[in-house]
Amino acid sequence: MRSILVVTSSFLPLVQAQAKARRAEPRLVVVDHPIGGLSPEEFAGREEAAYAGVVAELRGMGELS
């Protein structure tokens, strides 16, 4: 199953370590930390970055043209 993981920058080292331990190569979209506790205006930039990253990964996987 192909997937894309959206992760905040603070958790990236943990995700990479876990992926290495499991011999996995996840497709990652990294956004700025934190996500929680933000105003809608503050969250909007992270949301847009995540969306753009997911779209780029989907295109790279041949799922979008």
Encode pLDDT of 10-52 as tens digits. 999 999 999 999 999 999 999 999 999 999 998 998 999 999 9
Q: Band the pLDDT of 2: cuts 50, 70, 90.
A: confident
Query: Does some domain include residue 65?
Result: no
Residue 32 lies in a domain: yes
Could you give the count of Cα atoms lying within 13 Å of 20 in the half-sphere of its Cβ? Answer: 6
Q: How much is the pLDDT for 1?
A: 75
Tell me the residue range of the domain where 49 lies.
4-60
What's phi and psi for 39, nearest 5 deg? -70, 160
Kindly state whether residue 17 falls inside one of the protein's structural domains: yes
pLDDT value for 14 = 98
Number of domains in the chain: 1
For residues 11, 44, 39 and 34, what is the CA-based torsion angle, rounded to 10 degrees? 10
13 inside domain = yes
**pTM for the whole thing?**
0.85
- pLDDT computed for residue 65 by the predictor: 83
Residue with tokens 């499991």: 22
